[in-house]
Amino acid sequence: MQQSSIPKYLLKRLLMAIFVLLLVTIIVFGAVRLAPGDPVQAKIGPYGDYSEENIARVRAELGLDKPFVVQYLIWVRDGLRFDFGVSLRNGAPVGQLIMQKIPVSLELIVLSMLIAILISIPLGVFSAIKKGTVFDQIVSVTSTGFLAIPSFSLGLLLMIVFAVQLKWLPPNGYVAFRDNPLMNLRYILMPAITLAMLEQASLTRYIRSETIEIINSNYVRTAKAKGLSPKMVYFKHAFKNVLVTVITLIGMRFAQLIGGTVIVEQLFGWSGLGWFLYQSIVNRDYPAVQATVLLVAVAFIFLNMLVDVMYTVIDPRIKLS
Amino acid sequence: MKKKTIRFTTIFALTIVSAAILMALFPSLFTQYDPLELDMSNKLQGPSAAHWLGTDEYGRDLWSRIVFGARISISVGFGAAALAMLLGVPLGLLAGFVGKTTDSIIMRIMDAFMSFPSVLLAILLITIFEPSALTLIFTISIVSFPAYGRIVRSSVLSLKEREFVEAARAFGAKRGYLLFRTILPNCASAIIVQFSLFAASSILIEASMSFLGLGIQPPAPAWGSMLSYAKTYINQSVTYILVPSAAIFLVVLAINLLGDALREWLDPMKLK
């Protein structure tokens, strides 16, 4: 019974994701359509031709003469072909602009995630094993503290220390890795550490509580009762299960980080997707805003689905419902 | 020993939160300076006897801007958490109690709103409106109501199977009575704890939006927008960056700690 229900569950999960995706497109389309500012005016520009025929022509060109629902359907159809229209700012295809920005953000997100994992696994696991000790309390106080720091404050503090006082790192900017790997590294360090420090705080908390649960579980107690050394128990039995949790957590946090980069990229001038979104908002470049938000939401839904599916496949105890 | 540390952090949290609320209500009790008063001869100064936290790029007193800024942070933070509660709790109750198709529809709508990283959804929604405190409250509550709904729904689902609810049903209690008299009071502690956590996260989102220039507009002294200006003067004045940062940090930390304390106090069974 358990065996046959897995494909059924996957199908159900996929249908759910598609339905949610549909709602997301409606939210994004609706929000941007409700936004102030006249796209016709933006297209014609301040010194353009405002005769009635020209306004009607531009409206037709932008597809605004059609009913709302038809406009939405056309937008979805084009979106499926990765055609999101052209940027109001420079006339370049939005899809192309976004494709250029994705690797830039991905580099930052992957690096900060990596740093966060390297910090939080040992901290989380050891504070669980040493629960109640001074070490555990220090870890818990620091992660509670980090959860209350806004990303821009942490970023600015790093900037004060490493750019203004010590002058070790450039305060902000971006250089592509293939142009100059060393400069790329110098620019990425502060934004990556900012994101990583905030990320490790919540990861450490999760890993700690998961590890405590696993340590108290029956199979670990059995392994201990069998007379295995604590080291063997922790590394052979417990740690494997901690890793399962860590993988699912990383998937979820990764998706959240895509959104979290807006502030940090803007602060450090790291010209990735978040920076691009911010510029588009400030310039009221609606096609670009629409496409970026939609793509991030799609990535988010996809990652969450992947995490869910992986979780059920890895851990058969999860109830399929 | 453990008990002692809990008490200390709770007292610390209570002090900070009540100070912030008092500042929000009666700012002029805490400072004699007008937060908008310019004094160009005293700009970007460090702490001094006259301005004990220093001044900003227009010579405005930083302490008085922090005090008056508390009104924005506290009202947006608590306002957004309250509105999220008003939206999320009924939806969660309905989804959990009625179940079936109603549950699926409500949950998918919440999933859709949760498919955006929170800052991103806030940014998307804020483009629709002119930035103001009310807009921020509305926007942030839209960001957090689905999480509220989910929590309420899951506690309703587990309460529905409990014996005392079964018993009430067996005695012929009507649906309304079951929902509001037996189930809702037992969700109350989860709702209250979430309220404090959402108030803290709302303050962080408000500060982030104001920092990006999409929230409270200058010259109003929002802590987040103070920092976006302080950034420009990073070479001249470190205090200008430290002061608003510390304000946000302390208030968010205190509300989170208060939430933890409430959780332990209201639900001693969950204490690990």
pLDDT at residue B2 is higher than 60: no
**Residue B224: pLDDT band with limits 50, 70, 90:** very high
Tell me the mean pLDDT in the region B144-154.
90
CA distance A277 to A267: 13
Partner-chain contact B117 A255, CB within 8 Å: yes
Residue B147 belongs to some domain of the structure: yes
Query: Is B119–A260 a contact, with Cβ atoms under 8 angstroms apart?
Result: yes
Contact residues on chain A for B153, CB-CB shorter than 8 A: none
Partners of residue B252 in chain A, C-beta under 8 Å: 148, 150
Q: Does A282 touch chain B (CB under 8 A)?
A: yes
| Average pLDDT rounded to a whole number, residues A42-59 | 79
Instruction: Judge: A152–B108 Cβ closer than 8 Å, yes or no.
Output: no
> What is the nearest CA distance from A2 to chain B, expressed in angstroms?
23
State pTM to two decimals.
Answer: 0.88
According to the model, what pLDDT value does residue B219 have? Answer: 85
At residue A93, what are phi and psi to the nearest 5 degrees? -60, 130
Q: Tell me the shortest Cα–Cα distance from B139 to chain A, in angstroms.
A: 12
Residue A319 has pLDDT above 60, yes or no: no
Cross-chain residue pair A31–B119, CB shorter than 8 Å: no
Bigger pLDDT: A126 vs A1: A126
List pLDDT tens digits, range A159-214.
999 988 898 988 888 888 888 888 899 999 999 999 999 999 989 998 898 888 88
A216 part of contact set with chain B, CB < 8 Å: no
B255 in a structural domain: yes
The pLDDT value recorded for residue A245 is 75
Query: Which of A31, A144, A171 lies nearest to residue B125, judging by beta carbons?
Result: A31
Residues 145 to 184 of A: which have CB under 8 A from any B CB?
Answer: 145, 147-153, 156-157, 159-160, 164, 171
Inter-chain touch A23–B112, beta carbons under 8 Å? yes
Chain-chain contact of A282 with B207 (C-beta, under 8 angstroms):
no
pLDDT at A316 over 60: no
Upstream peptide bond of A230 is cis (omega within 30 degrees of 0): no
Which one of B116, B123, B204 has the shortest CB-CB distance to A150?
B204
**Contact yes or no for A148 and B118 at CB 8 A:** no
Range of the domain at B59: 2-33+49-266
Residue A84 has pLDDT above 70, yes or no: yes
Compute the count of residue pairs across chains A and B with CB atoms less than 8 Å apart. 136
What is d(CA B203, CA B251) in angstroms, rounded to the nearest whole number? 9
Residue B77 domain-assigned (yes or no): yes
Q: What is the mean pLDDT of residues A224-232?
A: 77
CA distance A225 to A108: 45
Range from A269-278, B117-126, B150-159 carrying the lowest mean pLDDT = B117-126
pLDDT tens, residue by residue, B24-40: 998 888 888 788 777 77
Average pLDDT, chain A: 84
B88 pLDDT higher than 90: yes
Contact B120 A164 (CB under 8 A): no
CA distance B57 to chain A (A): 17
* pLDDT score at A3: 52
Average pLDDT over every residue of B115-119: 82
How far from chain centre, in Å, is Cα A52? 45
Asked if B127 lies within 8 A of A31 by C-beta distance, the reply is: yes
Query: Which of B1, B118, B120 best tests the A interface by mutation, with the highest count of A CBs <10 A?
Result: B120
Q: What percent of chain B has pLDDT over 90?
A: 36
Most confident stretch, A234-238, B85-89, B101-105: B85-89
Q: How confident is the model at residue A167, as a pLDDT? A: 86
Task: Determine the residue of chain B that is closest to A293 in CA distance.
Answer: B120
Token readout for A226 is 């069998």
Task: Report d(CA B241, CA B41) in Å as an integer.
Answer: 20
Asked if A18 has any chain B CB less than 8 Å from its own CB, the reply is no
Residue B42 lies in a domain: no
Interchain contact, A150 vs B235, CB within 8 Å: no
* Residues of chain B contacting A155 with CB distance shorter than 8 Å: none
Reference A258, options A86, A81, A101; nearest CA is A101
State which residue of chain A sits closest to B227, comparing Cα positions. Answer: A153
Q: With 70 as the cut, is the pLDDT of residue B3 above it?
A: no
Predicted pLDDT of residue B266: 79
Interchain CB distance below 8 Å, B253 and A31: no
Q: What's the DSSP call for residue A93?
A: B
Does residue B43 sit within a domain?
Answer: no
Domains of chain A plus CATH, in order, are 102-273+301-314 (1.10.3720.10)
Count Cα atoms within 13 angstroms, Cβ side, for A251: 17
Would B215 be classed as within a structural domain? yes
pLDDT in tens, B189-214: 889 888 999 999 999 999 999 999 88
Which of B117, B200, B245 comes nearest A153 by C-beta? B245
For chain B, how many structural domains are there in total?
A: 1
Q: At B55, give phi and psi (nearest 5°).
A: -130, 165
The enclosing domain of B256 has a CATH number of 1.10.3720.10
Residue of A nearest to B230 (CA): A156
Model confidence band, residue A46 (pLDDT cutoffs 50, 70, 90)? confident
* Residues 28-87 (A) with a CB less than 8 A from some CB of B: 28, 31-32, 34-36
Q: B199 CB contacts (<8 Å, ≥6 apart)? A: B77, B78, B80, B81, B255
What is chain B's mean pLDDT, rounded? 86
Task: Give the pLDDT mean for B176-200.
Answer: 87
Question: Inter-chain contact A277–B120, Cβ cutoff 8 Å?
Answer: yes
Does residue B194 lie in a domain region? Answer: yes
Q: Could you tell me if residue B150 is inside a domain?
A: yes
Candidate from B115, B127, B256 with C-beta closest to A301: B115
Residue in B108, B120, B244 nearest the CB of A259: B120
Within 8 A of B224 by CB-CB distance, chain A residues are: 150, 152
